[in-house]
C-alpha cells in the first residue's frame, strides 16, 4: 500500500491524499460504507460503485467468521469474489463486536477473548494470531489489529491495563502478519489501533507506541462509544499530532457528518460508520440543505425530489412524499432508497471536502456546511 499527500489546507490540519492498493485507488478524505456481513444493508454493489461512488467498503471479521464461515469464503476465492466487489475492502478485527458482547459472558485474558456466538450460543476463542489468520482468509486489502475497545466511561486503571494489553496483542499481530502470506495473491496491509479512552497521557503513550511500530497506516479506536464530541475531538487532535503525517489516519466508527468534517480538519483521512444506513432505515435523511425526518407529516404531500442538488438517480427521481409513504408502510424499497441516498450524501461530503482542501477554501466551505447540517427541515 502506498499513501501520498496531494495537498494540505493552510487554515486547518486537513489534507487531501491518495491511497493505492492492489484493488484500486482511494482518494482521501474518504468515508467507507459498512458491509458487516459482506453486504452494505439494502444496497447493491452496482449502486455502491456507480451511484454512491464508494471507493472502499468494510467487512466485519466477527460476523464473517461466524457466517458464512471461513471455508466458504476461501472456497469462493476471498470476500471480493464472494460478494462481487472488485475495489478495496477493509476488515475490522472483531474487537468492537467482542466488546459489545460483554453481557453475554465474554471473558478477556492475556491469551485472547472467549465469547459466545450471537447466532447459536456456541463458544469461540479469538487470539491476536488467529484474528490475523482469519483476516488473511477473508482477504481484505486493509486488516485491523486485534484490540480491546474500552467502554465509556471507564476508570483510568482499567483504561491503562486494557491499553497495555492491546499493545502486547499488537506485537503478536505484527509477528503473525509478518510471518504469513496473502492467500489470494495481492498485498494486504495491517493497521494498528490507538487506544487509551479519554485520558490524555494514555492516548499520548498509545499513539507513540503505535507510531513506533512503523506500519503503513494507523487507526484511532475507542472514540465512538458514547463520550462527548468535545472529548473525541480533543483526543483526535492529540493523537494526530503524534502519528506520522506521511501515513493515513483512520478514525474508527465515526460518525455524524459534523463529526467527519471536524475530524477532517484535525487531520483524519478515513472514516466508517453504520449511521447513514441505520438512520436511513428509520427515516432520517441527510441532505445538502439539512437533516430530514421523512416520517414527519409535513412531507406527505411534498412531491419535490429528495435532494436535487445532490444529484444521482435515487435522490432526484423519487419524491419526499413517496419515500415517506414507503418508510411509513415499512416497504423494503423505502429502506433501499433512503440508504442509497444517505450513503451518496456521505460520499459527496468527503468528496467536496477533498475538492475544497485542494482549492484552499476548506474552512469557509466547512463553516457553511455545518450551518446547514444544524437545520432540521
Q: Which residues are catalytic, by number?
A: 92, 272
Binding-site residues from annotation for substrate: 92-96, 147, 195, 222
Which of 323, 282, 283, 340 has its CA nearest to residue 40? 340
Sign of CA dihedral 43, 46, 48, 51: negative
Which cell numbers in the block locate residue 209? Answer: 507506541
Phi then psi for residue 120, to 5 deg, are -135, 5
Binding-site residues from annotation: 92-96, 147, 195, 222
Alpha-carbon span 61 to 143, nearest angstrom: 9
Which of 207, 227, 342 has its CA nearest to residue 267? 207
Which of 135, 121, 47, 66 has its CA nearest to residue 312? 47
Alpha-carbon span 104 to 368, nearest angstrom: 45
Cβ proximity of 194 and 218 under 8 Å:
yes
Alpha-carbon span 337 to 349, nearest angstrom: 18
Give the sheet arrangement for strand 142-144, strand by strand: 57-60, 89-92, 142-144, 189-191
Amino acid at each position: 500500500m502506498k499513501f501520498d499527500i496531494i495537498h494540505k489546507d493552510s487554515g486547518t490540519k486537513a489534507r487531501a491524499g491518495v491511497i493505492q492498493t492492489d484493488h484500486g485507488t482511494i482518494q482521501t478524505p474518504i468515508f467507507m460504507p459498512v458491509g458487516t456481513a459482506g453486504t452494505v444493508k439494502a444496497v447493491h454493489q452496482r449502486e455502491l460503485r456507480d451511484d454512491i461512488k464508494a471507493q472502499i467498503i468494510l467487512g466485519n471479521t466477527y460476523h464473517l467468521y461466524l457466517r458464512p464461515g471461513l471455508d466458504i469464503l476461501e472456497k469462493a476465492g476471498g470476500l471480493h469474489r464472494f460478494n462481487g466487489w472488485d475495489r478495496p475492502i477493509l476488515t475490522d478485527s472483531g474487537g468492537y463486536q467482542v466488546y459489545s458482547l460483554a453481557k453475554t459472558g465474554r471473558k478477556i485474558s492475556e491469551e485472547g477473548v472467549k465469547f459466545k456466538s450471537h447466532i447459536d450460543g456456541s463458544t469461540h476463542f479469538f487470539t491476536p494470531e488467529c484474528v490475523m489468520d482469519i483476516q488473511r482468509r477473508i482477504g481484505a486489502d486493509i486488516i485491523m489489529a486485534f484490540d480491546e475497545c474500552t467502554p465509556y466511561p471507564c476508570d483510568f486503571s482499567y483504561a491503562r491495563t486494557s491499553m497495555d494489553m492491546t499493545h502486547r496483542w499488537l506485537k503478536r499481530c505484527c509477528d503473525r502478519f509478518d510471518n504469513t502470506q496473502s492467500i489470494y495473491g495481492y498485498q494486504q496491509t495491517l493497521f494498528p489501533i490507538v487506544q487509551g479512552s479519554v485520558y490524555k497521557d494514555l492516548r499520548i503513550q498509545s499513539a507513540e507506541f503505535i507510531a513506533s511500530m512503523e506500519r503503513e497506516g494507523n487507526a484511532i479506536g475507542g472514540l465512538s462509544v458514547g463520550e462527548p464530541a468535545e472529548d473525541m475531538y480533543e483526543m483526535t487532535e492529540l493523537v494526530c499530532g503524534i502519528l506520522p503525517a506521511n501515513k493515513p489516519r483512520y478514525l474508527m466508527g465515526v460518525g455524524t457528518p459534523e463529526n467527519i468534517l471536524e475530524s477532517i480538519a484535525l487531520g483524519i483521512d478515513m472514516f466508517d460508520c453504520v449511521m447513514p444506513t441505520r438512520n436511513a432505515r428509520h427515516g432520517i435523511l441527510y441532505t445538502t440543505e439539512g437533516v430530514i425526518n421523512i416520517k414527519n407529516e409535513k412531507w406527505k404531500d411534498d412531491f419535490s425530489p429528495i435532494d436535487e442538488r445532490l444529484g444521482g438517480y435515487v435522490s432526484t427521481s423519487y419524491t419526499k412524499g413517496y419515500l415517506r409513504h414507503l418508510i411509513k408502510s415499512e416497504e423494503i424499497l423505502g429502506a433501499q432508497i433512503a440508504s442509497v441516498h444517505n450513503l451518496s450524501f456521505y460520499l459527496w461530503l468527503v468528496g467536496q471536502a477533498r475538492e475544497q482542501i485542494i482549492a484552499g477554501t476548506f474552512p469557509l466551505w466547512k463553516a457553511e456546511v455545518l450551518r446547514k447540517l444544524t437545520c432540521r427541515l
